Structure 1
Amino acid sequence: MPVPATVAACDGAAALPLHAVDASENDLGGDVEEPTGTVLTSSINLANTILGSGMLSMPNAMASLGLILGSLVIVLSACTSGLGLYLLSRCARRTPGRDSSFFAVSKLTYPRAAVFFDAAIAVKCFGVSISYLIIFGDLMPDIAEALGFEAWLLLSRGFWITFAIAALAPLAFQKRLDALAYTSFTALLAVAYLFVVVAMFYFNPRRGPLPQGDIVLFRWSTEFFTHLPVFVFAFTCHQNIFSVYNELRDNTSKQLNGTITVSIGSACAVYQWIAVLGYLTFGSKVAPNLLVMYDNSLVITFCRLSVAILVLFSYPLQCHPARNCLDKVISGISHAWTKEPQFERIVDEGDSAADIPANDDATTAPVVHVMSPAMHLSITSVLMILSYAAAMSVTSLDLVLSFVGSTGSTCISFILPGLFYYKMHQHSRWTRMKILSVLLAVYGVFVLVFCLGANISRVLDGDY
């Protein structure tokens, strides 16, 4: 028997009926748990989602733009990404209890497109998870050889990808994002090590001077649009913001905003440090993968090992949202053949404020897991098997990641947050946040069209 659900409307509006919820949905093999996340653990998970392979390509991206312009683009990407996270957190408060997701927000705004949104997010996360396996498989044989191992098995790329899948299984099957906080913290130690190594080699007094004019402050060309997706991709963590909202013990605006600020701010600082020092060390000759520019010393070998561990522990952070999105897609398709509860359009005629007050109450409902154990097991297994098969058969995903950055990352980071927020406030007065949401969506469309076009042009010209 459907029962109406009401929640306090976002941004100061009165409580509004959001949709009819079938009370039996949460009893079909699902479970509920008390939220245990903190600002620290949630910030660590978001930061680990952000800080991945993008760190290694930042110096090369900066070299294409110049020192000052590159630094400004990093800050711009951090601010726009943070704005997207903030808008999604505002939209999360419109969903009942602690069962927020892209699918739930889509059902309140664009119900007919909800399945397509989640499918796109799942494909994006799945593609990134494949890239992590490929990076790990490419790094480990060189690491093993540098450490003196000669066994052919340890020098095999396929062995290390197989090892990664086996080792990651317990983490990939975790139901809660908060359960990955300790592995995320371990991965961030690898970031700290890379942070130190880059500085150590830059300040090395034996480093030779760069050629005259090799460092430029501004550089503008059409290549700007082919490198911009690198910056966008580097700050994408939006697929996990709803899990953070659901699992934070105190998910008030103050705590959630603090989580966003810490994760985005720390990532921006790390990217600036690595990009600037990497560019100043090697100039315009810096490679897309910074680590290949250094000699095979013991310090660099362990740095490569730390990056391998980083991408290894980042895999579950992509598997988690991909699984949740695919579950929503499967549920949406199955509901298309059955009678589905009706969703009411959001009306915000009573809105009078741009933000939820800083002292708003935390959601007291438990974390809802509506995915059945069988579905959880099935989807996770399929994701791991397919990502394993793809990583074993593909040796380079440079082109794929360029398209992922200009399409999937752009949609998740800019277009969807802007559209969702605007739709939820379409009948309210124009506030600063509503204007920013529209501008963010327009910026996302701009990035998608021009950057995707530039990458397609490079493919047609044979530059890849």
Structure 2
Amino acid sequence: MEASCGSISAERGWLVSAQQPEEAAAEELSPLLSNELHRQVSPGVSFGFSVFNLMNAIMGSGILGLAYVMANTGILGFSFLLLMVALLGSYSVHLLLSMCIQTAVTSYEDLGLFAFGLPGKVVVAGTIIIQNIGAMSSYLLIIKTELPAAISEFLTGDYSGSWYLDGQTLLIIICVGIVFPLALLPKIGFLGYTSSLSFFFMVFFALVIIIKKWAIPCPLTLNHTEEFFQISNATDDCKPKLFHFSKESAYAIPTMAFSFLCHTSILPIYCELQSPSKKRMQNVTNTAIALSFLIYFISALFGYLTFYDKVESELLQGYSKYLPHDVVVMTVKLCILFAVLLTVPLIHFPARKALMMMFFSNFPFSWILHSLITLVLNIIILLLAIYVPDIRNVFGVVGASTSTCLIFVFPGLFYLKLSREDFLSWKKLGAFVLLISGILLGNFSLALIVFDWINK
């Protein structure tokens, strides 16, 4: 298995087998749990590095689109929705950890097995694989399209045709030289150093957004051949809206849900946490989500207050347009691309673990098998990023279904199935609300994407 928990804590206990109607599932699970609980592990990953790893799993390219979401929901509307999604995300993690304590299960896939037998395990593992491959491919696609443009802004003169301005060549070099070696690491905790670097890049991005708010005047002016052209005369365009609703507002919650998706990395990080306990891991989760919420909100707020209704769907494009060849903006663009790049190896871990549990759960750890699966995953996401031009649209459908399942539907459904509490208990009612919210949001966002495709 990918990440071993060993003896997670005395707090972790077995459910009495007589209470479980799924005896066959429990019997299939027992050898796996026995191996998990007796395996010797290293002392564990510190609280700080665990927070950095979880933040790296949470934060990615989603930070670039939240200012656009604020422009279509208003400041107060955005604040309420972002806070609601963050709290629901934290609560769903709380349910996952509660089920882990009750069942001694150490992976998301095994929760599916414990709840619904082998079909449950296959559905969860398949959902994780599809979602993670889609996320990694979309991240690499962003790097392929944006990195050459970011490099060219530092150059003067015509360098077209150079290998370092070719997106495919750069992507292959990056995957071979950075993504594959980092993804080969045996434990997710080893990525704490790269995750902390990614976190500081995100903080730097937020600080630049704040500073550049006063570098771009409103009404907006566009610099062209040393002359400034005012593209907006309406002073109302420079007034922030507290509430705003349009057809684009419907994409707000799906975008936010994707921005807080970290649930496939929760249990691997929990397994390697130093002095692991439910309370300690919940504190890791709450800290990571709170810091991510703060950076998301600050970036979205000052990005919106810079461009107002003219904010681009990808925030940095606006700065490239109105502050061309600004060294700070060019630098922060490279930093964000590097932060997105460092997220890819982290997502490799749950994807590889899901594959291992689907096909090789009874095999002992082998570096050969570990390396081969990592290589296969790396080749798949690289080929998708290179040869599928509309991959973001394709995986938009996949993300609308898989992300909502992993954040809302599965935690709520599994808790309702496994918990012995009365249905009117607060936790079960919360799990029911989580389940219904996930089903409604997933179907609604999926319908919107399909409707948008039909119109185009």
Specify if TM > 0.5: yes
Task: Kindly provide the amino acid, as one letter, of the partner of residue 318 in structure 1.
Answer: I
Select the residue among 115, 120, 134 that pairs with 1:113. 120
Select the residue among 148, 158, 167 that pairs with 1:157. 167
Please give the alpha-carbon distance, in whole angstroms, between the structure 1 residues aligned to 2:65 and 2:318.
Answer: 12
- Unaligned runs of 5+ residues in structure 1 are 1-5, 336-368
Question: For residue 75 of structure 1, what is the aligned residue in structure 2?
Answer: 83
- Whether contact under 8 Å (1:9, 1:16) holds in the other structure is no
Please give the alpha-carbon distance, in whole angstroms, between the structure 1 residues aligned to 2:82 and 2:214.
Answer: 23
- Whether contact under 8 Å (1:173, 1:377) holds in the other structure is yes
Query: 1:370, CA displacement in angstroms?
Result: 4.9
- Whether contact under 8 Å (1:7, 1:15) holds in the other structure is no
Please give the alpha-carbon distance, in whole angstroms, between the structure 1 residues aligned to 2:32 and 2:401.
Answer: 37
Question: For residue 101 of structure 1, what is the aligned residue in structure 2?
Answer: 107
Question: For residue 379 of structure 1, what is the aligned residue in structure 2?
Answer: 373
Please give the alpha-carbon distance, in whole angstroms, between the structure 2 residues aligned to 1:42 and 1:24.
Answer: 25
1:312 aligns with 2:337: no
Query: 1:95, CA displacement in angstroms?
Result: 3.9
1:228/1:280 CA distance change after superposition, 3 Å: same
Task: Kindly provide the amino acid, as one letter, of the partner of residue 220 in structure 1.
Answer: F
Provide, for residues 394-424 of structure 1, a one-character-per-residue CA deviation record: whole Å limited to 9, x for no partner: 3454423532442111000000111111111
Provide, for residues 9-46 of structure 1, a one-character-per-residue CA deviation record: whole Å limited to 9, x for no partner: 999x9852473356599889x97422412221111111
Please give the alpha-carbon distance, in whole angstroms, between the structure 2 residues aligned to 1:403 and 1:125.
Answer: 13
Select the residue among 198, 205, 208 that pairs with 1:187. 198
Please give the alpha-carbon distance, in whole angstroms, between the structure 1 residues aligned to 2:102 and 2:35.
Answer: 22
Aligned residue pairs: how many?
A: 417
- Whether contact under 8 Å (1:35, 1:246) holds in the other structure is no
1:325 aligns with 2:336: no
Question: For residue 450 of structure 2, what is the aligned residue in structure 1?
Answer: 456
Superposition map of 1:281-430 within 5 A: 281-294=306-319, 295-296=323-324, 297-331=326-360, 370-426=364-420, 428=422, 430=424
- Whether contact under 8 Å (2:11, 2:101) holds in the other structure is yes
1:419/1:7 CA distance change after superposition, 3 Å: farther
Task: Kindly provide the amino acid, as one letter, of the partner of residue 427 in structure 2.
Answer: M
1:253 aligns with 2:278: yes
SS in 1 for 2:236: coil
1:128 aligns with 2:159: no
Question: For residue 203 of structure 1, what is the aligned residue in structure 2?
Answer: 214
SS in 2 for 1:218: coil
1:91/1:26 CA distance change after superposition, 3 Å: closer
Select the residue among 439, 444, 447 that pairs with 2:441. 447
1:53 aligns with 2:64: no
Please give the alpha-carbon distance, in whole angstroms, between the structure 2 residues aligned to 1:126 and 1:378.
Answer: 16
Please give the alpha-carbon distance, in whole angstroms, between the structure 2 residues aligned to 1:431 and 1:38.
Answer: 34
What root-mean-square deviation, in Å, do the aligned CA atoms of Structure 1 and Structure 2 show? 2.7
Question: For residue 149 of structure 2, what is the aligned residue in structure 1?
Answer: 142
Task: Kindly provide the amino acid, as one letter, of the partner of residue 185 in structure 2.
Answer: Q
Provide, for residues 405-455 of structure 1, a one-character-per-residue CA deviation record: whole Å limited to 9, x for no partner: 421110000001111111111564632112101111110011011111111
Please give the alpha-carbon distance, in whole angstroms, between the structure 1 residues aligned to 2:436 and 2:9.
Answer: 29
Please give the alpha-carbon distance, in whole angstroms, between the structure 2 residues aligned to 1:435 and 1:268.
Answer: 25
Please give the alpha-carbon distance, in whole angstroms, between the structure 2 residues aligned to 1:189 and 1:400.
Answer: 31
- Whether contact under 8 Å (1:319, 1:380) holds in the other structure is yes
Query: 1:146, CA displacement in angstroms?
Result: 1.7
SS in 2 for 1:174: coil
Question: For residue 341 of structure 1, what is the aligned residue in structure 2?
Answer: none
Query: 1:226, CA displacement in angstroms?
Result: 2.8
1:228 aligns with 2:253: yes
Query: 1:8, CA displacement in angstroms?
Result: 9.8
TM-score by length of structure 2 reads 0.85
Please give the alpha-carbon distance, in whole angstroms, between the structure 2 residues aligned to 1:24 and 1:89.
Answer: 19
Structure having the higher helix fraction is 2
Question: For residue 86 of structure 1, what is the aligned residue in structure 2?
Answer: 94
Please give the alpha-carbon distance, in whole angstroms, between the structure 2 residues aligned to 1:222 and 1:370.
Answer: 52
1:285/1:427 CA distance change after superposition, 3 Å: same
- Whether contact under 8 Å (1:25, 1:370) holds in the other structure is no
Question: For residue 4 of structure 2, what is the aligned residue in structure 1?
Answer: none
- Whether contact under 8 Å (1:195, 1:270) holds in the other structure is yes
Question: For residue 213 of structure 1, what is the aligned residue in structure 2?
Answer: 236
Select the residue among 36, 42, 45 that pairs with 2:50. 42
Provide, for residues 107-164 of structure 1, a one-character-per-residue CA deviation record: whole Å limited to 9, x for no partner: 1111122112111111100110011111112222112212227371011001110111
Task: Kindly provide the amino acid, as one letter, of the partner of residue 455 in structure 1.
Answer: I
Query: 1:212, CA displacement in angstroms?
Result: 3.3
1:23/1:394 CA distance change after superposition, 3 Å: closer
- Whether contact under 8 Å (1:120, 1:408) holds in the other structure is yes
Identity over aligned pairs, percent: 25
- Whether contact under 8 Å (1:406, 1:452) holds in the other structure is yes
Query: 1:308, CA displacement in angstroms?
Result: 1.2
Please give the alpha-carbon distance, in whole angstroms, between the structure 1 residues aligned to 2:207 and 2:190.
Answer: 28
SS in 2 for 1:407: helix
SS in 2 for 1:223: helix
Please give the alpha-carbon distance, in whole angstroms, between the structure 1 residues aligned to 2:107 and 2:365.
Answer: 13
1:27/1:265 CA distance change after superposition, 3 Å: closer
- Whether contact under 8 Å (1:92, 1:100) holds in the other structure is yes
Question: For residue 16 of structure 2, what is the aligned residue in structure 1?
Answer: 16
- Whether contact under 8 Å (1:132, 1:315) holds in the other structure is yes
Query: 1:223, CA displacement in angstroms?
Result: 3.2
- Whether contact under 8 Å (1:84, 1:413) holds in the other structure is yes
Please give the alpha-carbon distance, in whole angstroms, between the structure 1 residues aligned to 2:14 and 2:365.
Answer: 31
Please give the alpha-carbon distance, in whole angstroms, between the structure 1 residues aligned to 2:272 and 2:141.
Answer: 31
- Whether contact under 8 Å (1:10, 1:91) holds in the other structure is no
